[in-house]
């Protein structure tokens, strides 16, 4: 049983990681793969290195498509360009600073085809400079259950550990929102899982999630990233208001909104921003004690209700501890 899968890879400023990523993609044990790389006007030698690696895999050349934007358009548009060009029965997103195990595609595709799944997920590795951590995901019975676990923060929302049936994107007109370059994965995942009917999880880590790339959108919460988080909540508000999810999904979404608020407070680099974010979603304050939140985020939110200054002190102290931990992991 064989089906074509499209691997979608955005490229921007990743020459340090491109060779490793490309080898992991072209050495896959699964044969029916279409590779779609999107060069978002990368200023370095990333594409040159990609082509150099491809020379070692002549049997893959006919399956590789390198698309180039006429100007830098951001991660979300790059992902959409790749989706628009894909022709596979299933699609898998891989970030070009990460890499995958050589049997990832074969294993996920076998499960998808055998079980006629709309989505297949797996566990993953978190890669620091001198430390690797395995992140186990919680298995689920239905896509709805999976979506709830992501909204509750119990499973990861990234597309890169999820094989999706491509027709979900086309049938329900699910696209990436241009300019939403932070949490852009979640922006499509919550909609894909809303419409998906079948899914399964493979409790094996196949994906290597790189935490040493300091240029990654996920390592710094910039002003634009903060705006993206607020925009995502606005988009999700609109989607759920128009699609009437059940009470279990709505409860999970309340937890998600509170976690967004806590993250914005926690990552504020000045007291003015922190005060602004403590005033977000005031109607949800009554849910803080019951929501699915990490102990840290619950503490941040509860302290912000008492006084923003207390929350500011807690954030400063815990951020310094987190920074110290990351330096230890990556040195």
Examine the domain organization and report whether 180 and 256 are in the same domain: no
Band (pLDDT 50/70/90 cuts) for residue 325 is low
Examine the domain organization and report whether 258 and 143 are in the same domain: no
With respect to residue 226, please indicate whether it lies within any of the assigned structural domains: no
d(CA 145, CA 124): 20
pLDDT, mean of residues 87-112: 98
Examine the domain organization and report whether 164 and 273 are in the same domain: no
Examine the domain organization and report whether 70 and 157 are in the same domain: yes
d(CA 187, CA 276): 24
With respect to residue 316, please indicate whether it lies within any of the assigned structural domains: yes
Band (pLDDT 50/70/90 cuts) for residue 331 is low
Percent with pLDDT over 70 in the chain: 93
According to the model, what pLDDT value does residue 323 have?
60
| Alpha carbon separation from 112 to 74, 83, 218, 222 (Å, rounded) | 31, 19, 29, 37
CATH of the domain at 173: 3.90.550.10
Examine the domain organization and report whether 115 and 260 are in the same domain: no
With respect to residue 163, please indicate whether it lies within any of the assigned structural domains: yes
Which contiguous run of DSSP H or E holds residue 303? helix 295-306
pLDDT, mean of residues 91-111: 98
Print the domain residue range for 203. 5-210
176 touches 79 (CB < 8 A): yes
Kindly report, residue by residue over 255-311, the tens digit of the pLDDT.
999 999 999 998 887 888 888 999 999 999 999 999 999 998 998 899 888 887 777
Question: 93-102, 136-145, 223-232: lowest mean pLDDT where?
Answer: 223-232
pLDDT, mean of residues 142-154: 97
Examine the domain organization and report whether 127 and 269 are in the same domain: no
Examine the domain organization and report whether 179 and 251 are in the same domain: no
According to the model, what pLDDT value does residue 218 have?
40
Examine the domain organization and report whether 29 and 74 are in the same domain: yes
The values of phi and psi at residue 202, to 5°, are -110, 115
The values of phi and psi at residue 11, to 5°, are -125, 125
Computed over every residue of the chain, the mean pLDDT equals 91
Band (pLDDT 50/70/90 cuts) for residue 14 is very high
Number of domains in the chain: 2
Kindly report, residue by residue over 21-78, the tens digit of the pLDDT.
999 999 999 999 999 999 999 999 999 999 999 999 999 999 999 999 999 999 999 9
With respect to residue 229, please indicate whether it lies within any of the assigned structural domains: no
| Domain end point (choices 187, 210, 233) | 210
Q: CA geometry: angle at 86 spanning 70 and 42, to 5°?
A: 30
Kindly report, residue by residue over 206-233, the tens digit of the pLDDT.
999 999 865 543 434 688 889 999 999 9
Examine the domain organization and report whether 58 and 204 are in the same domain: yes
194 touches 173 (CB < 8 A): no
């Amino acid at each position: 049983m064989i089906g074509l899968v499209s691997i979608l890879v955005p490229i921007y400023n990743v020459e340090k990681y491109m060779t490793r990523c490309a080898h992991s993609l072209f050495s896959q044990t699964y044969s029916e793969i279409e590779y779609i790389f999107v060069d978002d006007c990368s200023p370095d030698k990333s594409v040159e290195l990609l082509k150099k690696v491809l020379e070692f895999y002549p049997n893959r050349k006919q399956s590789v498509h390198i698309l180039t934007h006429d100007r830098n358009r951001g991660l979300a548009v790059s992902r959409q360009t790749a989706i628009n060009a894909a022709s596979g029965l299933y699609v898998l997103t891989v970030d070009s600073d990460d890499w995958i195990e050589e049997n990832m595609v074969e294993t996920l595709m076998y499960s998808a085809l055998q079980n006629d799944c709309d989505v297949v997920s797996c566990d993953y590795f978190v890669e620091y400079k001198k430390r690797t951590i395995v992140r186990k995901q919680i298995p689920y019975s239905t896509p709805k259950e999976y979506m709830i676990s992501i909204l509750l923060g119990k499973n990861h929302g990234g597309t890169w550990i999820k094989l999706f049936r491509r027709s979900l994107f086309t049938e329900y007109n699910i696209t990436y929102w241009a300019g939403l370059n932070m949490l852009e994965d979640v922006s499509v995942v919550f909609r894909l899982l809303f419409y998906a009917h079948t899914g399964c999880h493979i409790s094996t880590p196949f994906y290597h999630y790189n935490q040493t790339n300091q240029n990654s959108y996920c390592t710094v919460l910039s002003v634009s990233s903060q705006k993206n988080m607020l925009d995502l909540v606005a988009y999700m508000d609109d989607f759920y208001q128009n699609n009437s999810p059940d009470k279990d999904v709505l409860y999970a979404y309340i937890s998600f909104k509170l976690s967004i608020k806590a993250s914005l407070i926690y990552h504020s680099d000045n007291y003015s921003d922190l005060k602004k974010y403590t005033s977000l979603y005031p109607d949800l304050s009554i849910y803080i004690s019951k929501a699915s939140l990490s102990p840290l985020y619950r503490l941040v939110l509860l302290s912000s209700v008492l006084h923003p200054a207390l929350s500011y002190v807690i954030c400063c102290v815990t951020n310094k501890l987190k920074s110290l931990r990351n330096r230890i992991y990556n040195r």
